[in-house]
Amino acid sequence: MAGFIFDQNPLFLPPLPTPTAPIHLLDLAAQHAAIQPELDAALQQVLRQAAFIQGPAVGEFAQELGAYLGGAQVIPCGNGTDALQLALMSLRLPAGAEVIVPAFTYVATMEAVAILGLRPVCADVLPDTFNLDPAAVAAAITPRTGAIIAVHLFGQCADLTALTALARQHQLALIEDNAQAIGATWQLTEGKAAFAGTVGEVGTTSFFPSKNLGALGDGGALFTRDAARATYLRQLANHGQTRKYYHEHIGLNSRLDTLQAAVLQVKLRHLPVWTAARQRGAAHYDEALGAVPGVQLPVRDPRSTHVFHQYTVTVEAGQRDALQAFLREQGVPSVVYYPVPTHLQPAYQYLGYQAGQFPVAEALCRTVLSLPIHPSLMPEQQGYIAAAVRAFFAGRSS
């Protein structure tokens, strides 16, 4: 592992410590090995019961997740993108209505809007938290706006206080895309916090395997506190049927498999411990990287807890790609979430956006880097990763 840093600077840099085990971005095999007997029992039970669609585990999991989220109604569905589409369908917006989405998010947030014949309207994000800028949202509201989709990016809540106030003031629906922040909370008022995804009219999440609560395949869910909307969403997710073969709405075939629900029941019991491990990992990185010039650590909003779906730093202008390449050489994987802002994705050129319109999102696409943060990451591996980051910048400044 002779990195070019040592060639440049052979006298001053000690060799990096050797990691005890290969570093992965995500270690689902280790996670599953730790809970193997529970998973095996759950899978065997589904095989024995043989009710693979809408079997008992689906309703049980919905109940358990709702209880975990402070009593929200949970409607399971096929994946997180469908959850967004179903949330929008439940609003019954007129064709062509505008829906405000962040310019910096996973594309699914915008895709769900566009596929329904609604118009995505991008708004810029804040440079510190990477989440929707309420002032930019306010400026994007027109008489045609029907909804705002807030994304709780990387595990931390968007400003739900400001966005809820804006939504109320303009009579818009607030949808929370909570695919990345399950279990995070937002301080609504002094002494009153709510779980991410349960504040707006509808919340959505994804159980894609790499999410904090991940299935062994695709899965998703919606959250709402409104019983009538919950019933409607349940119908929409199952061909719009009110009872078998009676279809009152045009819906989707978007159900959570019983097998996935059974796996998620097991994993939900471990989620608090895994979240705490992510938070400890983030604190460890903060300490180890805090003094590195050239790296801006993830900024916490004091009103939100952060469940660290990603630990995302921003890197000094022009250095991000070189840092990523250096880390790769040292055996440290990292990812750029996301390299292209939503408004400049080729599929969305019809919206007429230009480069330069959302400068914060565009700058983030050039500077962000997500470091490994999964619950099985060991402190000595994190020490190695931090040493590699420091070595890169030490080499640059010499």
Ligand X SMILES: *Cc1c(COP(=O)(O)O)cnc(C)c1O
Report the DSSP beta bridge partners of residue 206.
220
In one letter, which amino acid is 110?
A: M
Q: Is the separation of the CB atoms in 365 and 339 below 8 Å?
A: yes
Query: How large is the angle between the packed helices 36-49 and 56-68, nearest 10 degrees?
Result: 140
Under rule CB under 6 A, which residues in 172-231 are in contact with ligand X?
A: 177, 179-180, 206, 208, 218, 220
Q: How many CB atoms lie within 10 A of CB 273?
A: 9
Considering the complex, state which of residue 42 and residue 153 has its C-beta at the smaller distance from ligand X: 153
Q: Single out the segment in contact with ligand X by CB under 6 A; choices: 16-24, 101-109, 190-198, 264-272.
A: 101-109
Q: Which of 85, 90, 105, 370 binds ligand X (CB under 6 A)?
A: 105
Q: What are 97's two structure tokens?
A: 């209505």
Interface with ligand X, residue 150, by CB under 6 A: no
What letter would DSSP give residue 183?
T
Under rule CB under 6 A, which residues in 51-80 are in contact with ligand X?
A: 79-80
Least separation in angstroms between CB 204 and ligand X: 7
Considering the complex, state which of residue 19 and residue 220 has its C-beta at the smaller distance from ligand X: 220
Instruction: Give the distance from CA 286 to its chain's centroid.
Output: 20
Least separation in angstroms between CB 251 and ligand X: 17
Q: Is the separation of the CB atoms in 176 and 202 below 8 Å?
A: yes
Q: What are 38's two structure tokens?
A: 């529970």
Backbone angles phi, psi at 241, to 5 degrees: -90, 140
Considering the complex, state which of residue 203 and residue 220 has its C-beta at the smaller distance from ligand X: 220
Q: Is the separation of the CB atoms in 185 and 70 below 8 Å?
A: no
Q: How many CB atoms lie within 10 A of CB 344?
A: 19
Any catalytic annotation for residue 267? no
Number of residues that bind ligand X (CB under 6 A): 15
Considering the complex, state which of residue 209 and residue 331 has its C-beta at the smaller distance from ligand X: 209
Least separation in angstroms between CB 151 and ligand X: 5
Under rule CB under 6 A, which residues in 80-99 are in contact with ligand X?
A: 80-81
Q: How many CB atoms lie within 10 A of CB 110?
A: 25
Q: Is 342 exposed, middle or buried (0-12, 13-18, 19+ CB in 10 A)?
A: buried
Q: The dihedral of CA 338, 136, 123, 87: what is its sign?
A: positive
Under rule CB under 6 A, which residues in 107-126 are in contact with ligand X?
A: 108-109
Q: Single out the segment in contact with ligand X by CB under 6 A; choices: 105-113, 187-195, 260-268, 356-364.
A: 105-113
Considering the complex, state which of residue 61 and residue 106 has its C-beta at the smaller distance from ligand X: 106
Least separation in angstroms between CB 85 and ligand X: 10
Considering the complex, state which of residue 254 and residue 330 has its C-beta at the smaller distance from ligand X: 254
Least separation in angstroms between CB 375 and ligand X: 18
Least separation in angstroms between CB 145 and ligand X: 20
Least separation in angstroms between CB 205 and ligand X: 8
Q: The dihedral of CA 278, 280, 281, 286: what is its sign?
A: positive
What torsion do the CA atoms of 270, 276, 279, 280 make, to the nearest 10 degrees? Answer: -120
Q: Which residue is nearest to ligand X (CB)?
A: 80
Q: Which of 72, 93, 151, 157 binds ligand X (CB under 6 A)?
A: 151
Interface with ligand X, residue 19, by CB under 6 A: no
Task: Please tell me whether residue 341 adopts helix, strand or coil conformation.
Answer: coil
Catalytic residue among 192, 211, 244, 267: 211
Interface with ligand X, residue 106, by CB under 6 A: yes
d(CA 156, CA 183) in angstroms, rounded, equals: 10
Q: Which residues belong to the active site?
A: 211
Residues that bind ligand X (CB under 6 A): 79-81, 105-106, 108-109, 151, 177, 179-180, 206, 208, 218, 220
